[in-house]
């Protein structure tokens, strides 16, 4: 395994992060525990979860993923071997069964306390805001709708104050963003620069893959100049970049088959690009999945690459991508395809 650090901290994390969003829906508890056992044995010491998980979010399954992780900690005693990240859900339809009060002081405190109980731990290493409260573009929205109704009052100072107090109490160690824009990222960073008692956002968890490289536009410069590290999610585009959906009959238990509305990586141009990437990988004796993951691993703004799997075979292949070195010829081929079909799946 290869390791990095959460920027400007002493926390050493694996460059491959174990994602958990299928646990409790597509994977049962035994399978989740098997994945954690295996990942840790392979040197993966960074696990990412959220109160929203499993997804698609469902009231009856609220926060089950955190409970499964907590049960594993209790069973194995491995809490001190894992750098643990979780998130508070933002407002909106996907989280209507959780709360409607956004990132108010009471909401953040309650969310952290409840996650700690479910995770059966005294602290969370990295606590993230899952998505913004304000009207902006994330979760596949291509453009900013300037005419949308937005009742958001700028509460970023108050959010950081609440997180500061939770850090002082020892309940969380560091904080991060997710599904954030360049404006939002800089707004948080500048607030903590002006008010130095406030905590600084250390990471940003956004989508990044061969099918969606929009992080490179704006956010990559912010990431590198401000030292806020990317935690790349959906590096295989909901499994599309494994090539498994290129068959005439889609795999029966796969995510996009089970949940057709998870289709942001499945449009015609995304499929066309995937076919081109699959051909490039084949020409160089690589699996498309490992080529796609290895590409993400090479990015200079990457802190960790969040992989997720529903089978042990997938998990093994994904983790092994850390040892795949892409030749200049492969990287040049990737750039040619990207120029032909740039960012087909935002």
Tell me which residues are annotated as active site.
53
Residues 257, 245: Cα–Cα separation, whole Å: 9
Report DSSP state, residue 125. Answer: E
Q: Concatenated DSSP letters for 39-80?
A: HHHTT--EEE--TT-SSS--GGGTTHHHHHHHHHHHHH--GG
Helix (H) or strand (E) holding 114, with range, is: helix 105-119
How far apart (Å, rounded) are the C-alpha atoms in residues 319 and 85?
Answer: 19
C-alpha span between 65 and 47 (Å, rounded): 12
SS3 content of the chain, % helix, strand, coil (to 5): 45, 15, 40
Task: Report in angstroms the alpha-carbon separations of 342 from 30, 122, 210, 242.
Answer: 40, 44, 9, 19
**How far apart, in whole angstroms, are the C-alpha atoms of residue 102 and residue 97?**
12
Containing 270, the helix (H) or strand (E) segment is helix 268-283
DSSP track, 84-110: EEEEE--SSGGGTTT-SSTT-HHHHHH
Computed from CA positions of residues 145, 340, 219, 207, in that sequence, does the dihedral angle turn out positive or negative?
Answer: positive
DSSP 8-class letter at 139: T
If we measure between CA atoms, which residue out of 211, 220, 244 comes closest to residue 341? Answer: 211
Report yes or no: 57 and 94 within 8 Å, Cβ to Cβ.
yes
């Amino acid at each position: 395994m290869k390791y990095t650090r959460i920027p400007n901290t002493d926390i050493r994390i694996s460059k491959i992060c174990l994602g958990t969003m299928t646990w409790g829906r597509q994977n049962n508890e035994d399978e989740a525990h098997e994945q954690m056992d295996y990942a840790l044995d392979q040197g993966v010491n960074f696990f990412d979860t959220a109160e929203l998980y499993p997804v698609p979010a469902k009231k009856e399954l609220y926060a089950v993923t955190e409970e499964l992780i907590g049960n594993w900690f209790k069973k194995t005693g491995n809490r001190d071997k894992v750098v643990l990240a979780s998130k508070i859900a933002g407002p909106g339809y996907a989280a209507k069964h959780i709360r409607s009060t956004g990132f108010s002081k009471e909401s953040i405190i309650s969310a952290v306390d409840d996650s700690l109980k479910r995770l059966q731990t005294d602290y969370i290493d990295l606590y993230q805001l899952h998505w913004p409260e304000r009207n902006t573009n994330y979760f596949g929205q291509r453009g900013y709708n300037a005419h949308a109704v937005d009742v958001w009052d700028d509460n970023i100072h108050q959010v950081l104050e609440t997180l500061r107090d939770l850090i002082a109490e020892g309940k969380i160690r560091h904080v991060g963003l997710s599904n954030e824009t360049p404006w939002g990222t800089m707004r948080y960073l500048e607030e903590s620069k002006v008010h130095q008692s406030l905590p600084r956002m250390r990471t940003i968890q956004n989508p990044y893959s061969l099918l969606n490289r929009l992080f490179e536009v704006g956010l990559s410069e912010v990431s590198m100049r401000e030292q806020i590290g990317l935690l790349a999610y959906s590096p295989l585009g909901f499994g599309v970049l494994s090539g498994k959906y290129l068959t005439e009959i889609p795999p029966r238990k796969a995510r996009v088959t089970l949940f057709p509305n998870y289709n942001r990586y499945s449009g015609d141009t995304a499929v066309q690009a995937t076919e081109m990437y699959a051909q490039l990988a084949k020409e160089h004796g690589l699996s498309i999945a490992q080529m796609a993951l290895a590409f993400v691993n090479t990015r200079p703004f990457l802190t960790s690459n969040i992989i997720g799997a529903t089978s042990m075979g997938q998990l093994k292949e994904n983790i092994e991508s850390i040892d795949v070195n892409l030749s200049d010829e492969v990287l040049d081929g990737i750039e040619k395809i990207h120029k032909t079909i740039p960012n087909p799946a935002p």
